[in-house]
């Protein structure tokens, strides 16, 4: 069953109209924050391109030989490239193998499709290797590069792609969809977690499923303690290891942003808040640095990293004065 999320409809129209006019680009850069179903959308695009008798909406028919082998994950004209392990880089060898395969002509469909996800997992060498392919586009071949971090795609690669940006739905629609499609209510925690997920309903549901509302509140409480009193860095760092630490940092960042904005609004009445905001911005730098280290491909001791983070925050917070 072909499926598009409601917020993907207008992007699909954009694609369908290009397809109807036979103006399919050689490469698409599919962007948007995590949790909007970019992979699902890309699947619909490639399945539609490969389909032998697409519907009027340009969605794949789901019945033909191409659709059958696509659904079985064994379409000979379709290649998906992703890191061999989650969170690792896409290796240059993976792109080189692609170059060899590109010499072949399609067997089931009239087109060949290649999906690279996430595109930000390609290092400089892999990107350069891909660029060679994009510079000499083969007829009837479509590349789809999926990324939530388009700023990390080199401009040389970007300029060879047509960008399709999947926007998050308006917040109220996102919340309504989340409530209708999950077991969660539209309460304050759900609303905050949806904000944390940048308005992406699928990411919010995943966060609620994985971390849960209780974890969210616990982290808020821990952070509040760090900012106003003493908390043992060793104990807290050990406790936090059970969470997804990148998501946790994301939550702290949002929480701190709220505090900064609230201070800003009250600064006329209470000038000392300006000093507090200055320190909040320094704490924000700590969060950004820690987030970067957490996502670096190098092996790091996460417990030590979080201990350092907690110590730095407490040094900068109110109780350090
Ligand atoms: Zn079909």
Spacing, Cα 227 to ligand 1 middle (Å): 57
Spacing, Cα 224 to ligand 1 middle (Å): 55
- Which pair of tokens denotes residue 274? 């300006």
Spacing, Cα 290 to ligand 1 middle (Å): 47
Spacing, Cα 70 to ligand 1 middle (Å): 9
Spacing, Cα 178 to ligand 1 middle (Å): 31
pLDDT score, position 318: 65
pLDDT score, position 319: 61
Neighbours of 206 (CB within 10 A): 17
In angstroms, what CA-CA distances link 21 with 16, 58, 82, 107? 9, 11, 31, 24
Give the mean model confidence (pLDDT) for residues 80-99.
Answer: 89
- Which pair of tokens denotes residue 27? 């490469």
Spacing, Cα 8 to ligand 1 middle (Å): 20
Spacing, Cα 64 to ligand 1 middle (Å): 4
Chain mean pLDDT for the chain = 91
Spacing, Cα 75 to ligand 1 middle (Å): 12
Q: Give the DSSP per-residue string, 191-258.
A: HHHHHHTTT-HHHHHHHHHHTHHHHHHHHHHHHHHHHHS---HHHHHHHHTTS-HHHHHHHHHHHHHH
What's the CA gap between 45 and 177, in Å, rounded? 23
pLDDT score, position 112: 95
Sheet bearing 27-31, strands edge to edge:
78-81, 112-116, 141-147, 27-31, 162-165
What's the CA gap between 276 and 283, in Å, rounded? 11
Spacing, Cα 48 to ligand 1 middle (Å): 7
Spacing, Cα 46 to ligand 1 middle (Å): 11
Q: What is the SS3 assignment for 165?
A: strand
CA nearest to 158, candidates 150, 167, 166: 150
Domains of the chain in start order, with CATH, are 6-165 (3.40.50.300), 211-320 (1.20.272)
Spacing, Cα 230 to ligand 1 middle (Å): 62
Spacing, Cα 77 to ligand 1 middle (Å): 14
In angstroms, what CA-CA distances link 276 with 32, 262, 314? 34, 11, 13
Higher pLDDT, 253 or 318: 253
Spacing, Cα 143 to ligand 1 middle (Å): 19
Give the mean model confidence (pLDDT) for residues 41-56.
Answer: 96
In contact, 164 and 14? CB cutoff 8 Å: yes
Spacing, Cα 4 to ligand 1 middle (Å): 16
- CB-hemisphere CA count at 13 Å for 103? 4
- Which pair of tokens denotes residue 122? 């390609």
Spacing, Cα 163 to ligand 1 middle (Å): 25
**Over 60: is that where the pLDDT of 320 sits?**
no
Element (H, E) at 27: strand 27-31
Which pLDDT band holds residue 137 (cuts at 50, 70, 90)? confident
In contact, 171 and 194? CB cutoff 8 Å: yes
pLDDT score, position 119: 96
Spacing, Cα 32 to ligand 1 middle (Å): 27
**Over 70: is that where the pLDDT of 169 sits?**
yes
Token pair 């109220």: residue: 172
What's the CA gap between 138 and 125, in Å, rounded? 21
pLDDT score, position 247: 85
What's the CA gap between 66 and 102, in Å, rounded? 19
Spacing, Cα 53 to ligand 1 middle (Å): 5
What's the CA gap between 140 and 45, in Å, rounded? 14
Give the mean model confidence (pLDDT) for residues 126-130.
Answer: 94
**Over 50: is that where the pLDDT of 140 sits?**
yes
pLDDT score, position 189: 86
pLDDT score, position 103: 77
Spacing, Cα 55 to ligand 1 middle (Å): 8
**Over 80: is that where the pLDDT of 65 sits?**
yes
Element (H, E) at 205: helix 201-210
**Over 60: is that where the pLDDT of 88 sits?**
yes
Name 113's Cβ contacts closer than 8 Å, sequence gap at least 6.
Answer: 46, 49, 50, 77, 78, 79, 141, 142, 143, 144
CA nearest to 50, candidates 136, 148, 141: 141
């Amino acid at each position: 069953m072909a499926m598009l999320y409601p917020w993907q409809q207008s992007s699909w129209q954009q694609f369908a109209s290009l397809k109807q006019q036979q103006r399919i680009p050689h490469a698409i850069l599919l962007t948007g924050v995590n949790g909007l179903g970019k992979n699902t959308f890309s699947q619909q695009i490639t399945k539609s391109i490969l389909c032998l008798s697409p519907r009027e909406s340009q969605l794949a028919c789901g019945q033909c030989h191409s659709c059958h082998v696509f659904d079985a994950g064994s379409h000979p004209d379709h290649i998906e490239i992703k890191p061999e392990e989650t969170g690792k880089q896409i290796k240059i060898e993976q792109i080189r193998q692609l170059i060899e395969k590109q010499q072949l002509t399609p067997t089931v469909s009239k087109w060949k499709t290649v999906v690279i996800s996430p595109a930000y997992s390609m290092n400089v060498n892999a990107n350069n290797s891909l660029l060679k392919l994009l510079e000499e586009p083969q007829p009837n071949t479509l590349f789809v590069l999926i990324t939530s971090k388009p700023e990390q795609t080199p401009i040389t690669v970007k300029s060879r792609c047509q960008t399709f940006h999947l926007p998050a739905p308006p917040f109220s629609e996102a919340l309504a969809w989340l409530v209708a499609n999950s077991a969660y209510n539209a309460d304050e925690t759900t609303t905050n977690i949806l904000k944390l997920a940048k308005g992406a309903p699928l990411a919010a549901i995943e966060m609620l499923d994985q971390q849960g509302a209780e974890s969210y509140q616990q982290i808020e409480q821990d952070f509040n303690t760090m900012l106003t009193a003493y908390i043992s860095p060793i104990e807290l760092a050990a406790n936090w290891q059970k969470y997804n630490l990148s998501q946790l940092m994301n939550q702290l960042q949002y929480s701190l942003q709220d505090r900064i904005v609230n201070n800003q609004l009250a600064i006329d009445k209470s000038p000392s808040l300006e000093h507090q905001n200055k320190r909040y911005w320094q704490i924000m730098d700590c969060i950004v640095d820690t987030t970067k280290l957490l996502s670096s491909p190098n092996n790091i001791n996460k417990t030590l990293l979080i201990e350092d983070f907690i110590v730095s925050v407490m040094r900068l917070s109110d109780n350090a004065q």
